[in-house]
Amino acid sequence: MKTTAKILSFIITAVILLSACGPKPQYRTRLGKKKLKYYNSVQYDKGQSPKTFKSFKNR
């Protein structure tokens, strides 16, 4: 009974730790926020020319 509880607690702890160390989604990074702001200005600011933005490939 104790070994089953230890194994189960180890598996749960491993899942929590591995999920916490995963990569951040794009929209939460600094570059992702800049891209989102640029694309929103292009899409939703009708009548205005889009702001110039440096190439995303250089980063």
Residue-wise pLDDT for 16-54, tens only, equals 988 887 788 888 888 889 888 888 888 887 666 666 666
Q: What is the pLDDT at residue 10?
A: 96
Locate the domains of the chain by residue range. Answer: 2-44
**CA atoms of 9 and 12, how far apart (whole Å):** 5
What one-character DSSP code corresponds to residue 52? P
**CA atoms of 48 and 2, how far apart (whole Å):** 67
Confidence of residue 57 (pLDDT cuts 50, 70, 90): low
Question: Is the model more confident about 2 or about 12?
Answer: 12
- Enter the pTM of the model: 0.47
Task: For residue 43, give both structure tokens.
Answer: 């899409």
Residue 15 has pLDDT above 70, yes or no: yes
How many helices (H) and strands (E) the chain has is answered by 2, 0
Task: For residue 31, give both structure tokens.
Answer: 């570059």
